[in-house]
Structure formats: C-alpha cells, structure tokens
C-alpha cells in the first residue's frame, strides 16, 4: 500500500516527504486555489520537491474542458514540465478518449471523480495508469464503499489491467484500512487525515506510563 498526500501546500508536502516518506502527491483545483498561488507556479514547486525521485504527482487539466483534444493539448503541456507528472482527467467521455492519446506520447493519466465500478472499468480499458475512486463523498451520501473498491480491484485483477487504484477522498483511518483490505494500491488523503490515522490516544497513555517507570529506575 502506498500513501499519496492530497495537497498543493508546499510546506505540507515537504513535511510529509521528510516525516512519512510519502510515495506521491495528488492535487486538484481546490487545493491549488487554497495555496494562494498560480496553478503553474504550484505545479513547478511540487515538481522541484520530487525532482529525481520518480514519484508520481497528479496534476489536473482545466475542468472546463469538454473536448478531448483540449485535454490532450493541456496534458502534453503539463507533462513537459516534469517526468513525475501524471495528468488528471475527469471520468467522462472526453476524459476516457484522452487517455490513449496521451499514452501514445508516453504520458500517464489518472482518471478522477470515479464513482462507479463501470467508470473505473472503462478507464482501465482505455489504458489509464491510475484510477481514483472517491469514497468520502459516497459515504457522506449513505453509499457503501468497501465493496465498491473491492469490485474495482477484482475487475482489474481478473482482466490483468495495469492500472493502479488510488482510493481518494479518504476521511479517516478506518477508510485507509478498508482500502488496504480491499487490495487498493494507493490511498490519497490530506495531511490532517494522515496525522490522525498515525496517532492513537493509547499510545500517548502508554508512553506516559513507561516514562514514569523509567524515571523511577536507575540507568546504571
């Protein structure tokens, strides 16, 4: 299981690289807007952090594009900025069409906003390097998600597609574990979600007890 950070904040990404050795980054227009910087500025700064690592960075094309040719043109422009860049495309007809056209030029695609196994299947059929099923939004609307991810994993494995599955819109530690149990390759989550997932109150309680025993014991 790989961990990607879902962020466009340079300080967060640097922290996650140093402390957690994250395997990659996913961004989206909301994260870029929150950074307060122009899109290309943020993209270049993230690329610099990952220079020479080979770790993937998902950057999204303009979400207003409705023509696959515009998606491909922007994808080519973005991919030229860094070999780490994976082009995020929406899971719609134009996005699906753009996948093999980018692949012909050696550019990987990540199909985002996937909310059904059939969308994931089409993305895999078209040769997506990554597919990103969103689970937080589905759970917020009362939909089951563990089986949803398992279905996508099973389809991928049955037909031996090369696509890696990034479970996205992850909101808590339980969802991270469920994604791992379902056989997903990657989870992407915010800094806050990972911080909470890597922590536990009993760890702090146990450490305090051990510290008390340590303080009452001679060292030599």
Q: Look up 88 and say whether it is catalytic.
A: yes
For residue 71, with 0-12 CB atoms within 10 Å meaning exposed, 13-18 middle and 19 or more buried, which class applies? buried
Q: Is residue 220 part of a domain?
A: no
Average pLDDT for 90-95: 98
Does 202 fall in a domain? yes
Q: How high is the pLDDT of residue 164?
A: 98
DSSP 8-state class, residue 61: P
pLDDT tens digit string along 116-167? 999 999 999 999 999 999 999 999 999 999 999 999 999 999 999 999 999 9
The structure's pTM equals 0.96
Q: What is the CATH number of the domain that holds 114?
A: 3.20.20.70
Phi, psi for residue 150 in degrees, rounded to 5: -60, -40
SS3 202: helix
- Taking CA atoms, 215 is separated from 19, 202, 205, 211, in Å, by 28, 20, 16, 6
Catalytic residue (choose from 88, 97, 138, 195): 88
**Segment 183-197, tens digit of pLDDT:** 999 999 999 999 999
Number of domains in the chain: 1
Range of the domain at 202: 2-215
Length of the chain: 220
Give the C-alpha separation, 163 to 5, whole Å.
Answer: 19
Distance, in Å, from the CA atom of 191 to the CA atom of 37, rounded to the nearest integer, reads 19
Whether residue 210 lies inside any domain: the answer is: yes
Q: How many CA atoms lie within 13 A of 157 on its CB side?
A: 10
């Amino acid at each position: 299981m790989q961990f990607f950070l879902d962020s466009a904040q340079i300080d967060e990404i640097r922290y996650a690289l140093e402390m957690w050795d994250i395997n990659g980054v996913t961004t989206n227009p909301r994260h870029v807007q929150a950074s307060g910087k122009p899109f290309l500025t943020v993209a270049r700064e993230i690329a610099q952090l990952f220079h020479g690592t080979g770790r993937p960075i998902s950057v999204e094309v303009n979400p207003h594009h409705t023509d696959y040719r515009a998606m491909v043109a922007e994808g080519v422009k973005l991919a030229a900025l860094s070999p780490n860049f994976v082009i995020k495309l929406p899971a719609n007809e134009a996005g699906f069409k753009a996948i093999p056209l980018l692949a012909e030029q050696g550019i990987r695609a990540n199909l985002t906003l996937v909310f059904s196994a059939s969308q994931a299947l089409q993305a895999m059929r078209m040769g997506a390097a990554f597919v990103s099923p969103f689970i937080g939004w589905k759970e917020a609307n009362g939909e089951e998600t563990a089986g949803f991810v398992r279905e996508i994993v099973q389809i991928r494995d049955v037909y031996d597609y090369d696509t890696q599955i990034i479970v996205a819109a992850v909101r808590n530690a339980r969802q991270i574990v469920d994604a791992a149990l379902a056989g997903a390759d990657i989870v992407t989550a915010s800094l806050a979600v990972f911080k909470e997932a890597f922590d536990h109150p009993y760890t702090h309680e146990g450490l305090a007890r051990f510290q008390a025993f340590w303080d009452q014991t001679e060292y030599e």
